[in-house]
């Protein structure tokens, strides 16, 4: 299944946050969206996932989702959005409860999703007992359990510390490359984008417009090698130069307009 943005533009009242966004995410592709804070990245993701009605343009899908997909467009949230009164298992099950599944099938899906992300032994624990990284793993298990075609990830690692982030990035790669899901990965972190994405979409500051679309020429699995590191550092520098000025101006803008 392929997801396209067709001329998406949006305003909150008089505040224009997005303008003329056009792109297409191919099947199995990972697209990172980066840009300064307040440039409408999260708004764009909400529009793509049907949680927000855009003022202009539309999000569109091509092709059928996989037969076993219960929720083709699935979010992973920055703040995890776990229900604190449900255990890990209960949070993952929540995504299935309104679908017609037999008891054993549901259990089997939940077990598989928990095992895939290393949560099997934390099934009966409440979110407050878990570290941030483990909480986001629950968020990911909940996303996987519905067998998504496209993951919409809203800064999924930005609430976590640097070491946890490293660990989870590796998990993401394993999951994506195994399950062949595509993803739109919103972040303000260049390192994450360069490590995970096939292509990087750079947004300008508000109103967010497409500034650049960069392809990362090295396969994800090879990006940790020394040779690749040098090439990525150069790419990172180019990208940083491109967004630095925007970030500086955005930083000085009043957020509460």
Stretch that binds other proteins, among 2-10, 67-75, 202-210, 240-248 (CB under 8 A): 67-75
- Is residue 126 a contact residue for other proteins (CB under 8 A)? yes
Which residue in the block uniquely carries the two structure tokens 């997005």? 18
Tokens of 121: 């032994």
The residue (of 94 and 210) whose beta carbon lies closer to other proteins is 94
With CB under 8 A as the rule, give the number of residues binding other proteins. 23
81 interacts with other proteins by CB under 8 A: yes
String of contacts with other proteins for each residue 29-48, x by CB under 8 A: -----------------x--
- Binding to other proteins by residue 74, rule CB under 8 A? yes
* Residue 141 lies near other proteins (rule: CB under 8 A): no
Per CB under 8 A, does 94 bind other proteins?
yes
Q: What is the DSSP string of 99-135?
A: S---HHHHHHHHHHHHHHTT-GGGTT--GGGS-HHHH
Decide if residue 172 touches other proteins (CB under 8 A).
Answer: no
Count of C-beta atoms within a 10 Å radius of residue 179: 15
Buried b (16+ CB within 10 A) or exposed e, 184-194: bbbbbebebbb
Among 17, 29, 43, 75, binds other proteins (CB under 8 A): 75
Cβ-based nearer residue to other proteins, 100 or 215: 100
- The Cα 17–Cα 257 span in angstroms is 12
Any contact of residue 71 with other proteins (CB under 8 A)? yes
Q: Pick the closer one to other proteins by CB: 126 or 236.
A: 126
Q: In the complex, what is the shortest distance from the CB of residue 4 to other proteins, in angstroms, rounded to a whole number?
A: 19
CA dist 101 and 123 (Å) reads: 20
Distance between CA atoms of residues 206 and 238, nearest Å:
21
Is residue 51 close enough to count as binding other proteins by CB under 8 A?
A: yes
For residues 142-172, one letter each, b for 16 or more C-beta atoms within 10 angstroms of the residue's C-beta and e for the rest, the string is bbbbbbbbbbbbbbbbebbeeebbeebbebb
Question: Half-sphere exposure of residue 153, counting CA atoms within 13 Å on the CB side?
Answer: 36
Residues forming the site for other proteins (CB under 8 A): 46, 49, 51, 70-71, 73-75, 77, 79, 81, 83-86, 94-95, 97-98, 126, 128, 142, 146
């Amino acid at each position: 299944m392929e997801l396209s943005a067709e001329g998406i533009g949006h305003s909150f009242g008089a505040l224009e946050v997005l303008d003329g966004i056009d792109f297409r995410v191919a099947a199995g592709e990972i697209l990172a969206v980066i840009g300064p804070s307040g440039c409408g990245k999260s708004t764009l993701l909400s529009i793509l996932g049907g949680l927000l009605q855009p003022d202009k343009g539309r999000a569109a899908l091509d092709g059928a989702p996989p037969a076993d997909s219960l929720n083709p467009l699935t979010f992973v949230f920055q703040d995890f959005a776990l229900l604190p009164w449900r255990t890990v298992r209960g949070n993952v099950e929540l995504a299935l409860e309104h679908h017609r599944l037999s008891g054993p099938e549901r259990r089997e899906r939940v077990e598989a999703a928990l095992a895939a992300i290393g949560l099997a032994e934390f099934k009966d624990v409440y979110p407050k007992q878990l570290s941030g990284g483990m909480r986001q793993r629950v968020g990911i298990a909940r996303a996987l359990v519905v067998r998504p075609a496209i993951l919409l990830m809203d800064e999924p690692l930005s609430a976590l510390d640097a070491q946890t982030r490293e660990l989870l990035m590796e998990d993401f790669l394993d999951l994506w490359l195994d399950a062949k899901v595509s993803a739109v990965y919103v972040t303000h972190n260049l390192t994450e984008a360069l490590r995970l994405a096939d292509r990087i979409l750079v947004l300008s500051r508000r109103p967010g417009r497409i500034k650049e679309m960069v392809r990362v020429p090295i396969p994800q699995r090879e990006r940790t090698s020394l040779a690749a590191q040098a090439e990525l550092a150069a790419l990172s520098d180019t990208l940083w130069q491109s967004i630095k000025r925007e970030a500086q101006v955005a930083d000085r803008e009043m957020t509460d307009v």
